[in-house]
Amino acid sequence: MIAQQDAEAELLERSRSGDREAFAELYRRHSGAALAFARSLPHVHDADDLAADAFLQVFKALCKGLGPDTSFRSYLLSVVGNAANRRHHRMAQEVLVDTFSRYDTAEPRPQIPDRVADRCHLADLLAELPVRTRAVLWFSAVEGRSAKDVAEQFGMTANAVSALLYRTRFRLHRLDRNHCQGASRGRG
């Protein structure tokens, strides 16, 4: 593992000097993880573009002498998450309709199937988590990586990862319970 980290540090240094081949190797190593993480984020409909834009942002940062010296993947995933949040907030402020007249009707809104509503609810709960927490949860719960592997990825201890996952699951459970109680009050 240390040899791979040394090799990655060298690739980062070469990329910082403008070596496109070195950055291409970083892309080959981490593009799958960036894309998978982008797809896991709530409200992301263009995961491929989001991941590609994140790589471009990181490359520009490296060329300016900024960006990571180590832990390239952690830095990249933070860029992906932050970009997704910015896009979501920007799009939430836009109103894309051709005319408002069709919304002036008194017709009841169609019911959303429970399966779709559950996915939207889960996406909303995950959106309330910090980007790093979502990433740790992703690698642990979805990719099935051990706390030790995740800890190495994020520069944490395995114990800190386990504690973060425990707190995150507790928080999600509490948010879910509060959401369900609010929804049941709204129906009555």
Instruction: For the chain, list the domains and their CATH numbers.
Output: 1-94 (1.10.1740.10), 114-188 (1.10.10.10)
Alpha helix ranges (H) inside the chain: 2-16, 20-40, 47-63, 72-92, 114-127, 131-137, 147-154, 158-187
Please determine, for residue 177, whether its predicted confidence score (pLDDT) is greater than 70: no
Query: Which of helix, strand or coil describes residue 30?
Result: helix
- Gap between the Cα atoms of 60 and 20, Å rounded: 11
- Across the range 75-95, mean pLDDT stands at 80
pTM tops 0.85, yes or no: no
% pLDDT > 90, the chain: 26
Q: Which candidate, 173, 76, 84, places its Cα nearest to that of 127? A: 84
Q: Token pair of 79, please?
A: 């860029």
Angle at 56 between CA 53 and CA 60, to 5 degrees: 140
pLDDT digits (tens, 9 = 90+) for 105-161: 555 555 544 444 455 666 777 777 788 888 888 888 888 888 898 888 888 888 888
Q: Is the dihedral of CA 76, 82, 85, 91 positive or negative?
A: negative
- Across the range 67-72, mean pLDDT stands at 88
- Gap between the Cα atoms of 76 and 61, Å rounded: 11
